[in-house]
Amino acid sequence: MKINILTLYPEMFPGCLGYSLAGKALADRKVVLNVVNIRDFATDNYKSVDDTPFGGGAGMVMKREVLDAAIKSVYQTGPIYYLSPRGEVFSQETAKKWADTDSEMTFLCGRFEGIDERVIQKWYIQEISIGDFVLSGGEPALIAMLDAMIRLLPSVMGNSDSAVEESFANNLLEYPQYTKPQNWEGISVPEVLLSGHHENIRKWRLEQSQILTKTRRPDLWTKYLANQQ
């Protein structure tokens, strides 16, 4: 999988993606990051990439012609995503969809107050958000999204069952986990996990997932119930 990343801070990549599962995928070239410095496409002596917004207002806007040239330099096929607080919220479902794609992907990391809207219109860019809060730029959000996606690629995760059982896989939060010793500071591992009865363990884990989801994430609980019906 080839991933183009357009950014003003190329030194931020691969960052923490260079470690653990994502790092192994990069080392094995199952994923290739093509990181491009947007400032390289500035045309004036000051290498400026932003300008004041039409209509006034606080902050600056990233220039249309600079972004357009940066995209042209790398784009061949596949979707283009712009990291934006107003975009569709990223989810585990999104991560799985990205992991299942066969096409190249391009990501634009914004800064300042945003980018010229005409770039979005020309390139049919999809906006994606990490959540209902604002960061200083799209890079940290993209790192989190790519980590969530890369670990789902075929043969990246050691145990394929892990992806099925972890949080959000079925709109449920993951059940509690325990390891040795059996008793720690007066807190014991639930007896059912010591029973060796796999069906009872499966039922207990499902019940715990349901309780946690209903209590902590009623939005996911509603989705879970709808899917069950």
Q: What confidence tens digit (pLDDT) does each residue in 104-131 have?
A: 999 999 998 899 999 999 999 999 999 9
pLDDT digits (tens, 9 = 90+) for 145-187: 999 999 999 889 865 555 556 667 788 999 999 999 999 999 9
Structural domain includes residue 156: no
Do 177 and 121 lie in one domain? The reply is no
Instruction: Note the pLDDT of residue 158.
Output: 65
- For residues 31 and 110, membership in a common domain is answered with yes
In a domain, 160, yes or no: no
Residue 165 confidence (pLDDT)? 60
40, 8 contact by CB (below 8 A): no
- Indicate whether 139 and 179 sit together in one domain: no
Shared domain for 135 and 219, answered yes or no, is no
Instruction: Write down the pLDDT at residue 96.
Output: 95
The answer to whether 110 and 5 have CB atoms below 8 angstroms apart is no
Supply the CATH number for residue 211's domain: 1.10.1270.20
Residues 4 and 75: beta-carbon distance below 8 Å: yes
What is the share, in percent, of the chain residues with pLDDT greater than 90?
Answer: 86
pTM given for the model:
0.86
How many other CB atoms are there within 10 angstroms of residue 204's CB atom? 18
Domain contains 184:
yes
- What is the DSSP code (8-state) at residue 60? -
Where are any strands of DSSP class E within 61-216? Answer: 61-62, 80-89, 105-109, 126-129, 183-184, 187-188
Residue 203 inside a domain? The answer is yes
The pLDDT score that the predictor gives to residue 103 is 87
User: Among 24-28, 94-98, 155-159, 170-174, where is mean pLDDT lowest?
Assistant: 155-159
Provide the residue range defining the domain that includes 180: 167-228
52-81: average pLDDT: 95
